Structure formats: structure tokens, C-alpha cells
Amino acid sequence: MRTSLVSRCLLAGTVLLLPLAASGESNFQTGTTALTATAHVDFQISIPKFLFLRVGSGTGTASGGYATLATIDEITWAPTAAQVGTGVLAGSGGDLTGGIETAVVVANNGNVTLSSTTTGALSDGAGDTISFTKITTTATHNTTATTLAPPALADGATTTTTLTAVGKVVQQDAKWAYTYSNNTTPPAGTYGGVNVNAGRVTYTASVP
């Protein structure tokens, strides 16, 4: 009885292993004429859908190294009394300094919608404002064939631009330079700031 039980267990184990042993493919041919044997291998690569946006300090370029980094840059202007109202001023700050930020968008699922949103005009907290239309974003070439175009800034509004995919892939970057159209004389004060007085702009990228 014990011998029979052991034999049945071994047989059952062998049957269970047969599908695994047969998972590969082989083909044996024999004969006296020309012979042909074939075997097949299937391949599969799974690429996840992803979207990467960088404006300013961050990790990741148009060619890779994507990561999430919670660093928010501040662009500032501090004209002297003699400079107020005299013309366009470059900013200070930015990861490239001089009011210039690295901007990158990479996605692999079709066209990308890129937008900028503000909560209002820049305020000094005392009822005085400077319009975001006084701040211009100028894009220049960085590394990619297509220079990433920025959405314009507007007071308490969202503006949008569409990035056209090539083969369902968007891979664009630029150097965004922020300038202040210093052609008026506002009341004295500090307008905007680090997430105060409507000083923060939110950039958003989205794909289908």
C-alpha cells in the first residue's frame, strides 16, 4: 500500500510539471529529402503612458532622468527709483539665473495641452496691483528641435497652448526668460511674493 501511494504521488507530480516542461517549442524532422524545422519566440515590450513637466529647478531633461522634485523658483524685480518706468527689465532668479527658467515637457500619448493659471493681478496687499500682462515670457532654444512655447500670463485666468505630438510623442524644451515691461509708475510696495498676493503661477500639462 505504501509503495502504491508513493507511486501515485510521483505520477501526479510528473503530470503537473508537464505543462512547464512543454512551454518551449521544438521541431524535429527526419528523412532523406530536404528538411525544414521551425521554432517560434514571442516578444513583448510594455511602455507605460507618462507625462513630465518641468519649469525651473528640477530633475529631468527632454532626453530622460525624469523625477518629481518639489522646488519652486521665484523670479523677482527690484528697480531703483531712477529705473521705475524707464523700460523693460530682466528678472533675477531662476535655475539659469537672470530670470531664466528651464522648461521641459515630455509625453508619449498624443498632443499635450500646456496652460498657465493665475489667481489675479499681482497685489501689494493694500489694494494696488500690477498686471501679469506686464510680464513677458520669451522662449529660446535649449536642446530639442522644437522649442517649447510658453502660455501667456493673464490676471485671474488660464491661458492654454497645444504642443503637437510627433508619432504620439511630445519632446520639447526651452529656456524661458521672464521680463517686466517697466513702462508705468505703480504705487510703492512689494507686489506678489512666495505664494502670497497672487504671486504664484501654476503651469499644468495634460494628455488624453
Q: State the maximum Cα–Cα separation within the chain, in Å, rounded to a whole number.
A: 108
- For residue 117, what are the β-bridge partners? 158, 202
Q: Which residues contact 67 (CB under 8 A, 6 or more apart)?
A: 58, 59, 60
Q: Which residues contact 151 (CB under 8 A, 6 or more apart)?
A: 114, 115, 116, 159, 160, 161, 203
List the chain pLDDT tens, one digit each, 208 residues. Answer: 444 433 343 334 444 444 444 467 898 899 899 999 999 999 999 999 999 999 999 999 999 999 999 999 999 999 999 999 999 999 999 999 999 999 999 999 999 999 999 999 999 999 999 999 999 999 999 999 999 999 999 999 999 999 999 999 999 999 999 999 999 999 999 999 999 999 999 999 999 9
Whole-model pTM: value is 0.84
Q: What are phi and psi of 133, to 5 degrees?
A: -65, -15
Where do the domains of the chain lie? 51-206
